Amino acid sequence: MAKLVIIGPAHPLRGGLATFNQRLAKQFNDEGHSCSIYSFSLQYPSFLFPGKTQFTDEPAPENLVIHAVINSINPLNWIRIGNRLKKEKPDMIIVRFWLPFMGPALGTILRRVRKNKHTRIICIADNVIPHEKRFGDKPFTRYFLKSCDAFITMSEKVMSDLRQFQKEKPAKQVAHPLYDNFGDIIPKEAARKQLGLPENENIILFFGFIRRYKGLDMLLEAIAFIKTNHPEALLFKLMVAGEFYEDEKSYQDQIDRLGIREHLILRTDFIPDSEVKYYCCAADAVIQPYRNATQSGVTPLAYHFEKPMVVTNVGGLPALVPDEKVGLVVEPNPEAIAAGILRFYQLGEDFFIPHLRSEKQKYSWEKMCSEIRELAEL
């Protein structure tokens, strides 16, 4: 049995990173290891977090040890936590890296740990080059990456970005496992009843935090394009489910300017974990009209709930969504996105289901844990 620590967000912090870390820790524990999580007492200063709150009201996951102790902006804290982990001497630390801002804190902690000459440090890199660039990105990223022994990426794009900084250290690309901790598939009718949605409406789902790189504005333009050019085909509604991470007013103004409000279902509060299955199961398909992407946590959700996807041809998305099998891949512009939605309804949801059920077998937590252990030589 190995002693493992995951460094990254966890309950009571919310969001995809916390969900991933908790599921990964559970998998290691289920396999007989001892895995705890070192999370943040302060994760983001306000200028990096435009949402309403960083915290969830939902109960903590059962049978997981979570230490909310890392302060991302306090260097004395970094040294103290690094020394604590150095003395604890875990066999392996798995550290998440998704934002250069975290580089100084995580890099300093890990440099202290390395002095015990025992702990192997494996980074799961969600992003190396960020979606939204800021001053200090490159030096912060370099500082962090030098503190790691090996790397896991979950897309070719992130692997390519990683190799711009780290050409020699071991690295593996492993598929993002499915989020199987949001519950089982439920009938579409039951999900819609739970959410108060019309039973007989066609609904396509945009899910997750709303940020510019995710292309919601292009998707709204696509709806308007269909309304203008193919009004007879506008037999569906777009459901937007997720919290605004930037100015909501520009989107609301765009909706009114385009005259498409009647074709939308807006649920723009944070979606708690307990409700995720209802939104996914209520939809005919999930759409990801991103301007750029490395990978997406929405894709594993769609796989788990066996929902076809319409995704743009950017970053790692096309590799995750085989075209005209588990979904459709389109170019990142409103006309192409519109054509993808119409093509989906032309083929029908049932066309994609056999491919989804076959393809989703690739994405297991057992595989992720095995690859991490192999990199750490445990």
pLDDT tens profile 69-85: 999 999 999 999 999 99
pLDDT at 151: 98
pLDDT at 295: 72
Alpha-carbon span 182 to 308, nearest angstrom: 18
Q: Residue 105 — very low, low, confident or very high, per pLDDT cuts 50/70/90?
A: very high
Mean pLDDT of 305-323: 94
pLDDT tens profile 291-300: 988 778 899 9
pLDDT at 321: 95
Enclosing H/E stretch for 193: helix 188-195
Mean pLDDT of 320-344: 97
pLDDT tens profile 218-271: 999 999 999 999 999 899 999 999 999 888 999 999 999 999 999 999 999 889
Give me 233's structure tokens: 């085909």
Indicate the burial class of 167 (C-beta count within 10 angstroms; 0-12, 13-18, 19 or more). exposed
**Contact, 260 vs 224, CB < 8 A?**
yes
DSSP code at position 123: E
pLDDT tens profile 17-30: 999 999 999 999 99
Enclosing H/E stretch for 4: strand 3-7
Q: Which domains does the chain have, with CATH numbers?
A: 3-177+363-376 (3.40.50.11930), 188-362 (3.40.50.2000)
pLDDT at residue 204 above 90?
yes
> In the predicted model, what is the mean pLDDT of the chain?
94
Residues sharing a CB contact under 8 Å with residue 207, sequence separation 6 or more, in sequence order: 241, 242, 271, 279, 280, 286, 298, 301
Mean pLDDT of 171-179: 93
Mean pLDDT of 173-197: 94
Enclosing H/E stretch for 198: none
pLDDT at residue 377 above 90?
no
- What percent of the chain stands above pLDDT 90? 83
Q: pTM for the complete prediction?
A: 0.79
pLDDT at residue 47 above 80?
no
pLDDT at residue 50 above 70?
no
Tell me which residue of 321, 328, 331 sits closest to 346, measured CA to CA: 328
DSSP code at position 8: S
Mean pLDDT of 156-181: 93
